Chain A
Amino acid sequence: MGLFILRRFGVMLLTALCLTFVVFFLTNLYPNLEKLAKTQGNQRMSDEQVETWLENRGYLQPTLVKYGQWLGVLPGYIKTLDDGTFLGTCTRPGSTEETTPRYCGVLQGDWGYSTVFKDEVGSIVGKRLGNTGYLMFWVLVLMVPSALLVGVLAGMREGSALDRSLSTFSIITTATPEYVSGVIFIAIFTSSTVGLKWFKGTATQAMETPTFENFFLPVLTIALYGMGYIARMTRASMTEVMTAQYIRTARLKGVSFGNIVMKHALRNALIAPFTVIMLQFPWLLNGVVIVETLFNYKGFGWALVQAAGNNDIQLLLAISVVSVFVVLVTQLISDIGYVYLNPRIRIS
């Protein structure tokens, strides 16, 4: 088991390195750098000015060198201009040659400086992740129990009325992407045309004072889309368990239906949904980006949109590291959890 986890960590590290390099390569293509220079410097810069601007800040070094600097294995780029301004990859506004460290990379714990938000990337990502974490917590609280309940109820008697109606419900939710359900919810529950006005159409206030009124719709929108899939998987696993030999034996021995479901079937039926829930995280991440844009909730997904729209290289890299980390860790947890829950599988 230890060796297995160690190997998985190795693969994870390799994956993260490859992915950040891809992000790095794409954000450092010349047209992107040109856009960065124009948004940071001056929209009307000539081509030569753009080139000097980029040259002075070390953006025109070979990609591998820049990547090494971002990782922190190569010393940062430093340049003092003729007029005495001190520039470089490790500098912050107002820093001088003495206060600037030689290495500034991920290995040193320095995630860089965001050109959009004019702040340390580490603190931005931390703050935004906090907001999104809060959102995700409530999404999971809503989604997981209701999905499992729907799946178990549907799978307990295959082909029954309850099964068919719940299955239809879960198919509808999987067919409704967040930007459709969100728009429909906003239209029905918040607009003045329909007149219900039960909820707020934006979740901007929810960052400071989350209430049911301004926070429920975003949570519901993300939860619904993920729910259908988990419910269908739970249903499939539940129907499989309910046709197993030991369930038939229990029925023949006269155990009541409620007891069969609760005591015999449920535990075995919940192994598969566990992995599905874990593997659902990357999709939730997508939902978060859409919903945060739709409801104007300034979390991680919102930061991603801002960073990508303005080619904020270091913020984008940090965001991709975090999201890749989330994806890979949940995969690892699902593998380990599967082994732990299912005693028939052992990894030597």
Chain B
Amino acid sequence: MEPLSWTGSIAFLNPILMIALAALIVSIVVWIVGSIVLPETPVSVNVDGTISSGSGMRGLTQSALKYSFIACVVLSLAYIVLGILMGTSAGIIGAISQQFLPVWLSLIILFAMSIAFKRRLGLYGKLFDSPIGMIGFGLVMFWVFTGIFGALDLIVTHDPLVQVSGMKNKVPGTPLPSPEEGEYAWYLLGGDNLARDVFSRMVKGAWIVVQIAPLATMFAFMVGITLGLPAGYYGGRLDTFLSFLANLILAFPVILLFYLLVTPEIVATGVPNYMAAVLFIFPILFIGVLLNSRYYTRPKFRTPLLIGVLGLALWLYLSLISTGGYVINTDDYRIWGLPTYLDLFDIPGGILVVFVSVVFVNSPTVFRIVRGLALDIKTRDYVAAAQTRGEGPWYIMLWEILPNARGPLIVDFCLRIGYTTILLGTLGFFGLGLPPESPDWGSTINEGRKLLSIYLHPALPPAFALLSLVLGLNLLADGLREESLKD
């Protein structure tokens, strides 16, 4: 087997792409300089009362930018399309784009459907009016699909944990020394210092992030909302106390907290299990109060609904916090949990402690945001109207204040998923929590950085993956903010 070059037989595209990129950079510079130096576009008033503006020099710079940008996009698409068609003969880039085929297909279907029905999809549909939001959404969904299909073993070329002898620190595109039948014959992005496939590890790492980050952020939001709404709405002692607690956690440097909480010794004492038991009860409280405050006037509907929903939630809660039949299982004492035959899933101690500490770090910030929003919104007329109608305080908080605070909260939710991703990477970077051979991006960056001056390829793919996911989330939040401000 020949080693793969980066672009293989489509190398004729490289000079064209270089020219297009150079043109793009030049036109960006000209555009910026032009916006300062050149005069504003002349505006002339016509006889019929309308105004028209000439294109002027500024218009010229703008269209130059537009065309060079389109040229770059078209060329990149050409690489991907040709890569899908030609596979490994189009080099590493071709092989990678072919491996990502399910992701491209899902992205195309998702975007086509969303754009076709965007007027009926509310805020989500409006996202497709803003180019920034679309780019961000595309980046995020790329990694979400990569994570999902990677977990289904569709994209990965090799087992991320298996070492192949002779592939240690090999450069991207190196063929395996003796590939077996049906085995992928190259390490597309090279091998790391333990001779594992960098590409497959990066793809598998996406699944860890896609699993933990949104879920942890959601739990943090539940905790923050359940505590922040009453703090803002009632004020007084409750507010003082809760704000003090939130500031207490916020005053902790995050890394110190991680180093104290996310160690095997702390897992052995069962502290994370206690924290999980406390933190995970908030979603149940939230759902219970949410439904009860809405339907308490119709007890015939409310009671079965609450029993059903809370029963399910409690079951999930108990299976979440109990492992092997115990809630807490240390050497000194143990607390019985759900019996194993009812336990839906077990979460290993290492993952649980990571999850709990990320939720714990994020919730005070959410609390502060929700409290501030509640303080602001509770002075509005519709809240006063609800109070006059005689609605209960929890109904007002959850069904009057919360829906009206959703704009900033959704935006913050996107930003916070990005921040959680960064936190997970930090944990991996310091080797905390997750097992050392785990393919998550933080751990792979940490492993790769040790040999960085000689071998670049093990550290850079996860670094760029993390960067693009967080960037996508930030752009998505920006697009959402822009669109939600419009109405």
Q: Which residues of A contact B (CB under 8 A)?
A: 11, 15, 18-19, 22-23, 26-27, 29-32, 34-35, 157, 160-162, 165, 171-172, 174-177, 179-180, 183-184, 186-187, 190-194, 201, 282, 285-286, 289-290, 293-294, 301, 304-305, 308-309, 311, 316, 319-320, 323-324, 327-328
Considering the chains assembled together, what is the distance between the CA atoms of A180 and B449 in angstroms? 10
Q: What residue of chain A has the Cβ atom nearest to residue B421's Cβ?
A: A177
9 inter-chain pairs at a CB distance below 8 angstroms, sorted by A residue, are A23-B256, A26-B260, A161-B35, A180-B445, A186-B452, A201-B453, A285-B253, A301-B255, A304-B255
- On whether the beta carbons of B463 and A308 are closer than 8 Å, the reply is no
- On whether the beta carbons of B474 and A175 are closer than 8 Å, the reply is yes
Considering the chains assembled together, what is the distance between the CA atoms of A262 and B233 in angstroms? 42
Picked from A34, A180, A193, the residue with its CB within 8 Å of the CB of B466 is: A180
User: Given A32-B263, A180-B464, list of 14 further CB < 8 A pairs?
Assistant: A15-B251, A162-B35, A162-B36, A171-B471, A171-B478, A172-B471, A174-B474, A176-B471, A180-B467, A183-B445, A187-B456, A191-B453, A286-B426, A304-B259
A interface secondary structure, majority: helix
Q: What residue of chain A has the Cβ atom nearest to residue B258's Cβ?
A: A308
Q: Which residues of B contact A (CB under 8 A)?
A: 28, 31-32, 34-36, 244, 247-248, 250-256, 259-261, 263, 265-266, 268-269, 271, 418, 422, 425-426, 429-430, 442, 445-446, 448-449, 452-456, 459-460, 463-464, 466-467, 470-471, 473-475, 478
Q: What residue of chain A has the Cβ atom nearest to residue B255's Cβ?
A: A289
Considering the chains assembled together, what is the distance between the CA atoms of A172 and B468 in angstroms? 9
With contact pairs A30-B269, A160-B35, A286-B253 given, residues A186 and B453 touching in the complex (Cβ less than 8 Å):
yes
The number of residue pairs between A and B whose CB atoms lie closer than 8 Å in the complex comes to 150
- On whether the beta carbons of A171 and B475 are closer than 8 Å, the reply is yes
Q: Which residues of B contact A323 (CB under 8 A)?
A: 253, 256
- On whether the beta carbons of B430 and A305 are closer than 8 Å, the reply is yes
Considering the chains assembled together, what is the distance between the CA atoms of A286 and B254 in angstroms? 7
Question: Counting chain A CB atoms within 10 Å of each CB, which of B251, B260, B425, B456 scores highest?
Answer: B251
- On whether the beta carbons of B474 and A308 are closer than 8 Å, the reply is no
Q: Which residues of B contact A162 (CB under 8 A)?
A: 32, 35-36
Considering the chains assembled together, what is the distance between the CA atoms of A29 and B270 in angstroms? 11
Whole-angstrom distance from the CB of A221 to the nearest CB of chain B? 12
- On whether the beta carbons of B463 and A183 are closer than 8 Å, the reply is yes
Q: What residue of chain B has the Cβ atom nearest to residue A157's Cβ?
A: B35
With contact pairs A19-B251, A160-B35, A161-B35 given, residues A191 and B452 touching in the complex (Cβ less than 8 Å):
yes
Q: Which residues of B contact A286 (CB under 8 A)?
A: 253-255, 426
Q: Which residues of B contact A180 (CB under 8 A)?
A: 425, 445, 463-464, 466-467
Q: Which residues of A contact B429 (CB under 8 A)?
A: 179, 290, 293
Considering the chains assembled together, what is the distance between the CA atoms of A171 and B256 in angstroms? 27
- On whether the beta carbons of B251 and A327 are closer than 8 Å, the reply is yes
Q: What residue of chain A has the Cβ atom nearest to residue B261's Cβ?
A: A26
Interchain residue pairs A-B with the least CB separation, the first 9:
A308-B259, A161-B35, A31-B265, A175-B471, A175-B470, A177-B422, A180-B463, A26-B260, A31-B268
Picked from A184, A187, A282, the residue with its CB within 8 Å of the CB of B253 is: A282
Q: Which residues of B contact A293 (CB under 8 A)?
A: 429-430
Considering the chains assembled together, what is the distance between the CA atoms of A289 and B253 in angstroms? 10
Considering the chains assembled together, what is the distance between the CA atoms of A35 and B452 in angstroms? 32
Picked from B34, B255, B265, B460, the residue with its CB within 8 Å of the CB of A184 is: B460
Considering the chains assembled together, what is the distance between the CA atoms of A32 and B266 in angstroms? 7
With contact pairs A180-B467, A286-B253 given, residues A191 and B456 touching in the complex (Cβ less than 8 Å):
yes
Considering the chains assembled together, what is the distance between the CA atoms of A192 and B453 in angstroms? 6
Question: Counting chain B CB atoms within 10 Å of each CB, which of A26, A285, A301, A320 scores highest?
Answer: A26
Whole-angstrom distance from the CB of A81 to the nearest CB of chain B? 27
Whole-angstrom distance from the CB of B37 to the nearest CB of chain A? 11
- On whether the beta carbons of A183 and B448 are closer than 8 Å, the reply is yes
- On whether the beta carbons of A187 and B460 are closer than 8 Å, the reply is yes
